[in-house]
Amino acid sequence: MDAAITSKMQKHYPVLLKEIISIISPQYGGTFIDCTFGQGGYSNKILEFDKTKVIALDRDHESKKIALKLEQKFNDRFKFKNIKFSQLNNLKLKNENIKGVIFDLGYSYTQIKDPNKGLSFDSVGKLNMQLGLNSFSAEDAINKLDQKELEKIFKFFGDEKEGKHIAKNIVKSRIKKKIDTQDLVKIIDNSKRRKNFRINNSTKSFQALRIFVNKEISELIYGLINAAKILKKDGVLAVVTFHSLEDKIVKYFFKGLSENKSISRYSPLTEQKETLFDLIKKKPIIPNDKELNENPASRSAKLRYAIKKTDFFDFETDIEKRFKNLIEIENFGEKL
């Protein structure tokens, strides 16, 4: 790999930062929730505006180290919570003017290259993929789930067309020994009848396992629901996704709550015309050429946002029903 590209990948770039700042308008003040604090890129930028406060969340305990520096620098304007963003409803926000909730669903270069996390197919040793506050690892899933369950994980979370063949070979191999990261890479390589020379053969399967281990589908669904509840009128809910499944969920959620079918439960069905969100842009915002050149990892990023029209929060959404099958697959982990 070219040294210049490698250097760019190693540097942390908050994806679509200018676009996010333009949308949430921190110059007018208010409290903003950075649901995926990571390296602190969004939080740092928002705090440059004097009238702002930031509540940052991250399930990765490593983020505490970076957050501590911001807590010391900004004192009463910045708070960090080591929780999952699905737990937004547990924050005590009665007196907070929540003007923006931001999700960046990507992973930093630091996380990907952390040997203890084992997110990369270049990792050596135990399968992990836990991003924090998990109840099981990828090692548990690969070595304990049955063939049909593994097949569904690869198919629905990774869009892996050869998931059945991969799952079958995993079950065969684990009889002889416990499977580690490089064992899994070899199994996938040997299972793929059609080789992909553009991306690593393990990419889709590793994505699927990471989603499963971290329950990323239900995390996103309940994170979106709770974010919509705590936002104030005219507040912005902004989400940056990095693969089609995430984008599909966010698009469905915003579309449903910006159309008349999604209503307050306190209003008669026949008369309710009010919707929760305004969608200024129906199509996602993507990185421009300049950002793509500076940060090649942003190539798959899509930003969608919605503006809350009213303070009511007892809305109805069928998003759980729509993605029920994916939540059920995640629940395979309950027996691990």
HSE value, Cβ hemisphere, 13 Å, CA-based, for 50 = 0
Q: Which tens digit of pLDDT belongs to each residue from 146-186?
A: 999 999 999 999 999 999 999 999 999 999 999 999 999 99
List pLDDT tens digits, range 71-103. 999 989 999 999 999 999 999 888 899 999 999
Handedness of CA 81, 82, 86, 90 (dihedral sign): negative
Out of 3.20.20.140, 3.20.80.10, 3.40.50.280, 3.40.50.150, which CATH number does the structure's domain 3-109+216-315 have? 3.40.50.150
Q: Is 1.10.150.170 the CATH classification of the domain at 135-213?
A: yes
297-328: burial string, b at 16+ Cβ within 10 Å, e else: bbeebbbbbbbbbeebeebebebeeebeebee
Q: How far apart are CA 286 and CA 326, in angstroms?
A: 26
| Residues contacting residue 60 through CB under 8 Å, at least 6 positions apart | 38, 111, 131, 132
Work out the average pLDDT over 120-144: 94
Rounded Cα distance between 227 and 236, Å, is: 10
pLDDT bucket at 11, cuts 50 / 70 / 90: low
Question: Are residues 279 and 254 in contact, defined by beta-carbon separation less than 8 angstroms?
Answer: yes
Work out the pLDDT band at 312, boundaries 50, 70, 90: confident
Q: Where are the domains of the chain?
A: 3-109+216-315, 135-213
